[in-house]
Amino acid sequence: MSFVESFFGRRDDVRTLVVAPYAREGELRDRFDEFVSLCQAAELDTVGVDAAPVREIHPGTYFRSGQIERFREAAEIGAADLVAVDADLSPVQQRQLERELGRGVLDRSAIILTIFGRRARTRTGKLQVALAQNEYVLPRLVGLWGHFDREKGGIGLRGAGEKQIEIDRRLIKRRIARLRQELSQVGRTQQLHRARRKRSPLMHAAIIGYTNVGKSTLLREFSNRSVFVRDMPFATLDTLTRRITLNDGTAFLVTDTVGFVRDLPHGLVEAFRSTLLEAAEADVLIHVIDASAPDPGRQVEVTRGVLSELGVTDRPTLYVLNKQDLARGSAPAIAPDLSPVVGASIVRGEGIDAIVDWLRHQARAHRRTVTVRIPLSRPELVALGEAEAASPGRWGHDWVEYDVPADSTLAAQTELRT
């Protein structure tokens, strides 16, 4: 259950006032547009917006009293059920704002967690989101029960009060411990899968970047298979790996990873660490950037920051400036410090050839040799070995061994056969 559902049940008409605090005028538009997009992805009905300059954060309420009064009036005019704030509020700030505004308040972390909760598809993704949600809720139980009391006319839900809060606190702590244990087991399984991929002779590329920049669309272009592609933040939470074989026989693995976002809640970074490690284990990275964004450079900084937390700083990287057809400048003008860089419009198929050429070059540079043993009863495979092996075969009584490139036809056919 998402935070929105915990307040209002399963509704798609939760009327929401969006509040965007900012410290500098220059950052307002980018932050504001992004947060409105996040609220839409959380399926909230935006009925009003308010941008508020915050020079100094109030320890009790985050905002000044005059700003809070303005928010309250705007919420009443718009008949808002909820106020969404583009900031990470402390439990005290969130609770006090709810009291003064007379309605539920969700901060940036809660909005992102709501989106993640609705996007998770696999067991791993659901476990990761559940852990982050429970860790977020634990210090906020008093505020949540206060909201339920107001909604239910003071009767409460499941018997509100200090005693019930303590019971819930113990239950959540147990749940967190269980989720961590389950994720630890899942992490070990994922580690085995990554180790198997590392032993694979094929190069492994990871598609990384800010949320909603076109990563899944690029993987679809590569694989020509149907993956979940939708124009919304965090449409992809679960990693997806495809084996790609080009027309010339060059083969490699490509993984689509979860999108990054500014001020990603620390709990989510920790919860999704095993998933984000897909990028850390890759041989090369394809860093997709939205060239039409107000500040593409900030997207790069956010993505690099998360990668740095994971210790990923030394991978060969191709920067893809997607949505170039919607951008105001050329690729070199938008990203003068990035190299190599390719301008693209992935949805229109533009720039794909240049990306594929770079991957082909990298795959050849990473090309590994595998030893394949073929029974003499398979003359068609023996013929392939004679054609593709870099050195003469080693013959046995009823078999022959060849050292061939890992992405060769013989290696692929033998892999499929076994």
173 part of a folded domain = no
Same domain, 387 and 348: no
As a whole number of angstroms, the distance between CA 68 and CA 15 comes to 18
Tokens of 40: 């839409």
Same domain, 386 and 335: no
Same domain, 392 and 325: no
Chosen domain end from 327, 348, 365:
365
46 part of a folded domain = yes
Place of tokens 């990035």: 338
Same domain, 269 and 380: no
pLDDT at 394: 93
Same domain, 345 and 375: no
174 part of a folded domain = no
β-sheet bridge partners, residue 403? 371
152 part of a folded domain = no
pLDDT at 118: 80
Write out the DSSP string of 119-163.
Answer: H--SHHHHHHHHHHHHHHHGGGHHHHHHHHHHHTTTS-SSS-SHH
Same domain, 314 and 208: yes
Tokens of 93: 């700030």
Check if the beta carbon of residue 30 is closer than 8 Å to that of residue 295: yes
Helix 65-77 and helix 91-101, axial crossing angle in degrees, nearest 10: 50
101 part of a folded domain = yes
129 part of a folded domain = no
Check if the beta carbon of residue 44 is closer than 8 Å to that of residue 3: no
CATH number of the domain where residue 237 is located:
3.40.50.300
CATH number of the domain where residue 8 is located:
3.40.50.11060
Residue 62: DSSP 8-state: B
pLDDT, averaged per 10 consecutive residues of the chain (418 residues), comes to: 56 86 77 86 90 92 96 96 94 94 93 83 81 89 55 42 77 93 80 64 86 86 53 50 82 81 71 66 91 84 83 88 81 74 91 93 83 91 87 91 81 59
Check if the beta carbon of residue 290 is closer than 8 Å to that of residue 212: yes
128 part of a folded domain = no
**Which are the contacts of 284, defined by CB distance < 8 A and separation ≥ 6?**
203, 204, 205, 206, 315, 316, 317, 318, 359, 362, 366
Pairing of strands 251-256, 203-209: parallel
Q: Which of 253, 206, 6, 230 is nearest to 117 (CA)?
A: 6
> 0.75 exceeded by the pTM?
no
Q: Count the residues in the chain.
A: 418
Domain count, the chain: 3
Helix (H) or strand (E) holding 45: strand 45-53
Range of the domain at 255: 200-365
Q: Which amino acid is residue 377, in one-letter code?
A: S
Chosen domain end from 61, 86, 119:
119
pLDDT at 142: 67
Same domain, 361 and 376: no
Tokens of 110: 């809660």
Tokens of 327: 């951008």
Check if the beta carbon of residue 265 is closer than 8 Å to that of residue 137: no
> Coil, helix or strand for 320?
strand
Same domain, 282 and 343: yes
CA dihedral 15, 16, 17, 22 (to 10 degrees): -160
> 380 φ, ψ to 5°?
-65, -35
Residue 318: DSSP 8-state: E
Check if the beta carbon of residue 114 is closer than 8 Å to that of residue 4: yes
Same domain, 314 and 378: no
Chosen domain end from 69, 92, 119:
119
Same domain, 275 and 294: yes
Radius of gyration of the chain (CA): 26
> Coil, helix or strand for 230?
coil
Same domain, 89 and 226: no
Q: Which amino acid is residue 98, in one-letter code?
A: E
pLDDT at 331: 61
Same domain, 36 and 64: yes
